[in-house]
């Protein structure tokens, strides 16, 4: 388990079982319909909650191809890249999210999924872009 998984609230056995059941169910839906956006989004979230960051990344990459103009999709992709130690890709996805309209700077500054990215100097450049947008 990564350091970031340890920073999250530990799941109870019951929560793990419930997530595993939901992941199985959603995986079946997505297998039958790979374009089922809502199921993909829930599945990606569940994988991340469960600490299955590589699986979550695969879902987020798929969603980014299905929804190339969705700022939240690219924000989530940036989080997945960060959680899997792919900092350059995370910065690129976060930058795209901001350009597409993502603007929740408070959450971006505290989201534990982005802890590894916030130490990168390029993060401050992205934050500066957000600040400029809000003052324009």
In the chain, the number of structural domains is 1
The tens digit of pLDDT for each residue in 14-53 reads 999 999 999 999 999 999 999 999 999 999 999 999 999 9
Domain of residue 83: give its range. 3-135
Domain of 26: which CATH number?
1.25.40.10
pLDDT digit string (tens) for 43-85? 999 999 999 999 999 999 999 999 999 999 999 999 999 999 9
pTM score of the predicted model = 0.89
Can you read off the two tokens belonging to residue 14?
Answer: 């019951």
Handedness of CA 100, 23, 79, 32 (dihedral sign): negative
**What is the Cα–Cα distance from 72 to 38, expressed in whole angstroms?**
13
Cα R_g (the chain), whole angstroms? 15
């Amino acid at each position: 388990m990564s350091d970031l998984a340890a920073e999250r609230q530990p799941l109870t056995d019951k929560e793990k079982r419930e997530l595993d059941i939901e992941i199985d169910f959603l995986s079946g839906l997505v297998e039958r319909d790979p374009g089922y956006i809502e199921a993909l989004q829930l599945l990606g979230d569940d994988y991340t909650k469960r600490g299955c960051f590589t699986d979550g990344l695969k879902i987020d990459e798929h969603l980014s191809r299905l929804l190339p103009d969705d700022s939240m999709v690219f924000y989530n992709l940036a989080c997945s890249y960060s959680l899997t130690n792919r900092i350059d890709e995370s910065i690129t996805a976060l930058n795209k999210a901001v350009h597409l309209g993502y603007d929740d700077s408070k959450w971006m500054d505290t989201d534990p999924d982005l802890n590894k990215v916030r130490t990168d100097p390029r993060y401050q450049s992205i934050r500066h872009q957000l600040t400029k947008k809000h003052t324009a």
